[in-house]
Amino acid sequence: MNQRLLFLGPPGAGKGTQAQQLAARHGMLHLSTGDMLRAEVDAGTPLGIEVNAVMERGDLVSDEQVLAIVRGRLLNPNQGWLLDGFPRTLVQAEALADLLEELQQPLQRAVLIDLADDLLVQRLLNRGRADDTADTIRNRLRVYQEKTAPLIAFYEERGLLARVDGEGTIDEIAARLEDLLT
């Protein structure tokens, strides 16, 4: 599938889970800013050392740092791609639009995977990553409402938004995405 997509949604909605599977099924490039940042932390790079505490609090890494790591990865026009967890702020969304115009790779769809807060909290507590404690999850949900939820209107106004219900099993949601995208 030679599509250019992004996945939007609250923490724990299943963006990473679905993005990984969809990209593998269709030979797309999967770019997860969360995975890229965690790899920097694990490798102990200067960037990783700087962002570690930010991520453990559930805050967002700075737009400049995230944009720098995404920019270098979007240069292959012969392959579809799927951005997972990026953009997360209006500044990132504007910067992405500029970058894609420069690369002549317009975005085709922004897919919102949505889920009620109580189910999000449950999934994240079950996952148990370093940033999946009750306090951090509460902060991540607050940050999502404040900084990321405005992107829903941003992509709706541009006629790019599609919504998928994130409640159900992983396979059920994967089937919804296949129906939507193929």
Q: What's the min distance (Å) between Cβ of 125 and ligand B4P?
A: 9
Site for ligand B4P contains 61 (CB under 6 A): yes
Measured between its terminal Cα atoms, the distance across the chain in Å is 8
Considering the complex, state which of residue 28 and residue 92 has its C-beta at the smaller distance from ligand B4P.
Answer: 92
Piece of the chain touching ligand B4P by CB under 6 A; list 11-19, 21-29, 71-79, 95-103: 11-19
**Count of CB atoms within 10 A of residue 143's CB?**
19
Q: Which of the 8 DSSP states describes residue 148? A: I
Q: Are 2 and 158 in contact (CB under 8 A)?
A: no
Considering the complex, state which of residue 4 and residue 123 has its C-beta at the smaller distance from ligand B4P.
Answer: 123
Considering the complex, state which of residue 21 and residue 105 has its C-beta at the smaller distance from ligand B4P.
Answer: 21
Query: Of 103, 170, 175, 180, which one interacts with ligand B4P (CB under 6 A)?
Result: 170
Torsion of CA 14, 9, 76, 48, to 10 degrees: -80
The rounded distance, in Å, linking the Cα atoms of 166 and 163 is 9
Q: What's the min distance (Å) between Cβ of 12 and ligand B4P?
A: 4
Q: What's the min distance (Å) between Cβ of 178 and ligand B4P?
A: 15
The rounded distance, in Å, linking the Cα atoms of 180 and 165 is 12
Name residue, tokens 């799927």: 82
The rounded distance, in Å, linking the Cα atoms of 95 and 88 is 11
Considering the complex, state which of residue 2 and residue 150 has its C-beta at the smaller distance from ligand B4P.
Answer: 150
Tell me which residues in 72-111 interact with ligand B4P (CB under 6 A): 85-88, 92
> Which residues in this chain contact ligand B4P in the complex, by CB under 6 A?
9, 11-17, 33-34, 37, 55, 58, 60-61, 66, 85-88, 92, 123, 127, 131, 140, 168-170, 173
